[in-house]
Structures are given as C-alpha cells and as structure tokens.
Amino acid sequence: MIVLKSDREITMMREAGRVVAEALDEVEKAIVPGVTTARLNQLVEDIMLRRGARPAFKGYRGYPASICTSINNEVVHGIPGLKTLSDGDIISIDIGAEINGYYGDAARTFPVGAVDDISARLIKVTAECLEKGILQCVLNRRLTDISFAIQSHAEENGFSVVKEFVGHGIGRAMHEEPQLPNFGRPGRGPRLAPGLVLAIEPMVNAGGSLTQVLADNWTVVTKDGGRSAHFEHTVAVTENGPEILTRL
Ligand code: MF3
Ligand code: CO
C-alpha cells in the first residue's frame, strides 16, 4: 500500500532531510586521502546527535554502522572501518536520519583527490540520472517514467544501471512502497500524486550491470570489478512539481 503524506507530514520530513543534507556536506569536507571510513561514520554520528536525529541505518536488519561507505567497485552498503581512502578513489556515502518518526535518505559519490576521466564521467552522469529522474516527478506521470529516464541517460553514456537494488517510498519507515527500479519501460506503475514521497537512487556501473554481495553479507560489489556510483535524494511530489527534501 502506498501512503501519501499530508503537508504537515512533509514538513516533518523536511527536517529529517535537512539533517541528511548537512551531514553529506560535512562528510564531503572530510574526504581526503588517508582518512578512514570509520572517521566519516563518527563525524555523521556526531552531527546527528547534535541535531537530535537518529542514524536510521544503525541496527537496520543488523547493519552495524550509521552510514554506508562504498569505494570504487563497491556499489552500495559498504561498511565503514579502518580502511583509508587513497588519491584516485571514488566513494559513495549513503546517509539516513529519523526525526520524530519520519525518515530522510540520500547519497552522493565523491572523488578522492584526482580521479581518472572515466570515474569523473561516471560520477557526473549518475548525478544527472538522479536529476533526470527527479524531473519526472510531476503529477500524472507514472512511476516507471522515472525509471526510464534514469536508465536511458546512463546507457546513452555507455554505462549500465544496477537492477538488483531499487529506490523506494519513504516516510514513517525508511522503506515503503512502491519499489522504484532504475530501469524499465515508461508509462507503467502508479500515477504520481501529491504527497507521494520517493527515495530515488540510481546506482550506475562503468562496466556491466551485475553485482554480488561479499562475505560480510552487506557490501555489494560489481561482478566485473568496474567502478560504480550512487546518488540519492528523498523527493516529494507536490502540486508545484518535485520538492527535494534532502537539499539545503
Ligand atoms: N539508502 C539505502 C537504502 O535505501 C541504504 C540502507 S541499507 C542499511 O536502502 F542497511 F544500511 F540501512
Ligand atoms: Co534509499
């Protein structure tokens, strides 16, 4: 069942979204060669504590940290630890926050120092995929119009989209209906209505689309070892078009 949110509820979700956006901005400043992913996780925990937010990922299905840190060939759900970042890496940071029972969820991929041309283009195109998906969040469009916009842009640029993981509705739970694939033909699925709030999250690979999960049971990597990027925003569909809740 899809739960549409009232204006009052969207106001609550703005607060959770704002904390996630602030945390991503703070993390970006800390991304330098030599920093550990555990340090980035700690930084975000400190921000959430100060803001009265709860890190939504911690303990979710047993997930052991507050953020996901996925490096290079890691797609999503990388676990922070003692690993240090190196010049030329790319790192996807995914953050969820809960305030007063409402959730916000967003992710970005950052370059570490100077990255090669393919990595820079992968990051740029994946960010554009998210923007193009958001532009479809207009009344009376259908859910898979978002999916189609994302897949088309990735593939037109020679990249592939991950199919085993999807975006999702979000609100009083981090994951609500509907599921939002990053691929598929347009014009399918529910019509977009005011109060629908979606976490749109393209995962785009430089090589093939297939993934596998590592022995830690969390870290998703590309099968062919190619690099992967991930951008996510929590977006509300309104009478006036899309409102990005995870942007300052
Ligand atoms: N943003 C991701 C999602 O929407 C990450 C959550 S997985 C977690 O599914 F386990 F880390 F919480
Ligand atoms: Co999400």
Could you tell me if the CB of 148 is within 6 A of ligand 1? no
User: Is 177 in contact with 1 (CB distance < 8 Å)?
Assistant: yes
- The one-letter code for the residue type at 99 is I
**Residue bearing the CA closest to ligand 1, atom 12:** 57
Distance CA 136, CA 149 (A): 8
* Mean pLDDT of the region 62-67: 98
Tell me the pTM: 0.98
* Mean pLDDT of the region 202-224: 98
Which atom from ligand 1 is nearest to the alpha carbon of 57? 12
Q: What mean pLDDT, rounded, does the chain reach?
A: 98
Angle at CA of residue 223, ends 117 and 185, nearest 5°: 80
* Mean pLDDT of the region 187-191: 98
Q: What is the spatial order of strands in the sheet that 74-76 belongs to?
A: 74-76, 220-222, 211-213
Buried b (16+ CB within 10 A) or exposed e, 127-137: bbbbbbbbebb
Residue 90: what pLDDT? 99
Q: What is the pLDDT of residues 103-142, one digit of tens each?
A: 999 999 999 999 999 999 999 999 999 999 999 999 999 9
Q: Minimum-distance ligand to the CA of 60?
A: 1
- 176 pLDDT band (50/70/90 cuts)? very high
- 246 pLDDT band (50/70/90 cuts)? very high
Q: What is the pLDDT of residues 31-51, one digit of tens each?
A: 999 999 999 999 999 999 999
Domains of the chain: residue spans and CATH: 7-244 (3.90.230.10)
Could you tell me if the CB of 203 is within 6 A of ligand 1? no
Find the DSSP H helices in the chain.
Answer: 7-30, 37-51, 117-135, 143-156
Distance CA 238, CA 248 (A): 18
